[in-house]
Amino acid sequence: MTHSLVGFKKFLILLFCFYCSTLIISSLLFITKTEIQQCVGDGNILIDKDVNSSVSILHWEYANHWTGWGQQSGFYSKWGGYQVYKEPCPYDCQFIGEQSLYKSADMVLFEPQQLGKRGPKYPAEKICGQKYAMITYETPFYFPIQADKDYLSHMDWRISYQKQSDIRISLMCGWGFDLNDYIAPGPSFLERKKFAIFVASNCKRGGAKQRTEYVEELMKYIPIDSYGLCLRNVPEKALSRNTELNRFIDKVELFRQYKFILAFENNNYTDYVTEKLSHAFLGQSLPVYMGAPNVDEWLPGHKSIIKTDDFSSPKDLANHLLKLATNQPEYESYFDWKKRPLRKEFIDRYHECVLSAECRICKKVVEERQYARNNSIGGTFSNKQFSSSLDSFTISPRFYVVQKYAIISLFLFLFLYILPIIYQTFISRPNNIVDNNHHQHHV
């Protein structure tokens, strides 16, 4: 017994060394120090301007940004496909697209996938106190540049869907409706004549291949109408394409005919929740969701979606959907959340809608001005990044992947080591005792 205990301790030490080695090697490969870009000029734009003076924000890659930031309330969003109405903003904020005006901008916005599409990648020089911000609603798997250490070395702030962002944005928007439409009753069980719908046109990029393969397998067991470019099995013009006005309203109306909506993201990435989920809720149907593991932070209520992660296979999920489609009380139980107040997390995500986020961006600049004044000494202020989530180290998503598989390997090795001991102690040893007693009886 003592010998086994000593051996087990040695094995644990080996496992510990294995994990430490993995941690060190992956850290060296996938965690890099972010070098801060030096600024130019004797003054500091944060201190030189009055705290409440007009805020100037430059779109570096766009003359007019797809979010519509800077547009008047009620403008028609070509990307969103609907009129966007905004709450009044207490800050005087100007969004500009002329790159030549970069020296007067309090903030310069950069979008990773558009880097350099309009000429130089960055302004010729960075003005002291000026903030460079990365805006993105894609994962690093889709656009790896947004995790690139050289790119991040230019950035002070992150504007994205991620929880650790300096300014968080979401796609849990109104899409031509309002917050009350999320809790509207919708068609009855019997009025939903069709089974399931799937709409996606990215079939492979950024991890979408896994989504496409899953739906293709699911189609073997249940009827799914696919309206996008991926696995399309309905007429091409059955759903308005991106060039059509009110296309999202048309899609939502189409969703109301179905019992289930496959709201599958192109990547299962933490915090990455797109319009697919909000469109499903506004369509008053039951979302079947594949995507962010922490999607609960986006849900309007308890038991409001079906997660593919809860099922062992597409066939297992299909069997569950088939049962729900013939069990009205159980199906309708997925809409009981509408009888209760909306969850605070959901309301927060709704108010973080990217199409109406400009006021929070302007507020961030004004707060930074105040911070700079309060911390200046003799009229000067350090130009280092003092409130950035990107100012220390850049961690590649591959680092987390390596750690995940390293931990899985640890438990697997531990299980394989313990299994023979359990067998010998609880199975083999009692049998030996019985055999010995039997032998003594005959003797």
417 against 262, higher pLDDT: 262
Query: Is 310 a residue whose pLDDT tops 50?
Result: yes
Query: Is 102 a residue whose pLDDT tops 50?
Result: yes
Beta strand extents in 27-180 (DSSP E only): 31-33, 55-59, 75-77, 82-84, 93-96, 107-110, 131-135, 157-160, 167-168
| pLDDT tens digits for range 366-393 | 999 999 888 864 444 444 443 344 445 6
> What is the pLDDT confidence band of residue 269, given thresholds at 50, 70 and 90?
very high
Which tokens go with 75? 């403008």
Query: Is 142 a residue whose pLDDT tops 90?
Result: no
Distance CA 278, CA 181 (A): 11
| pLDDT tens digits for range 50-76 | 998 999 999 999 888 889 998 988 888
Distance CA 34, CA 32 (A): 6
221 against 404, higher pLDDT: 221
> What is the pLDDT confidence band of residue 156, given thresholds at 50, 70 and 90?
very high
pLDDT computed for residue 386 by the predictor: 34
The identity of residue 317, as a single letter, is L
Distance CA 426, CA 432 (A): 11
Query: Is 431 a residue whose pLDDT tops 50?
Result: yes
Q: Which of 155-169, 197-211, 356-370, 377-391 has the lowest average pLDDT?
A: 377-391
Burial of 330-366, coded b for 16+ CB within 10 Å and e otherwise, reads ebeebbebbeeebbeebeebbebbbbbbbbbbbbbbb
- The alpha carbon of 195 is separated from its chain's Cα centroid by a whole number of angstroms, namely 28
| pLDDT tens digits for range 220-246 | 999 999 998 999 999 988 776 655 566
Picking from 166, 180, 92, the residue whose alpha carbon sits closest to that of residue 136 is 166
pLDDT computed for residue 62 by the predictor: 87
pTM (predicted TM-score)? 0.76
Q: Which of 156-170, 216-230, 231-245, 247-261 has the lowest average pLDDT?
A: 231-245
> What is the pLDDT confidence band of residue 419, given thresholds at 50, 70 and 90?
confident
> What is the pLDDT confidence band of residue 328, given thresholds at 50, 70 and 90?
very high
Contact between 284 and 255 (Cβ < 8 Å): yes
pLDDT computed for residue 406 by the predictor: 85
Q: Share the mean pLDDT of the chain.
A: 86
Mean local confidence (pLDDT), 154-168:
95
298 against 374, higher pLDDT: 298
125 against 40, higher pLDDT: 125
The fraction of the chain above a pLDDT of 90, given in percent, is 54
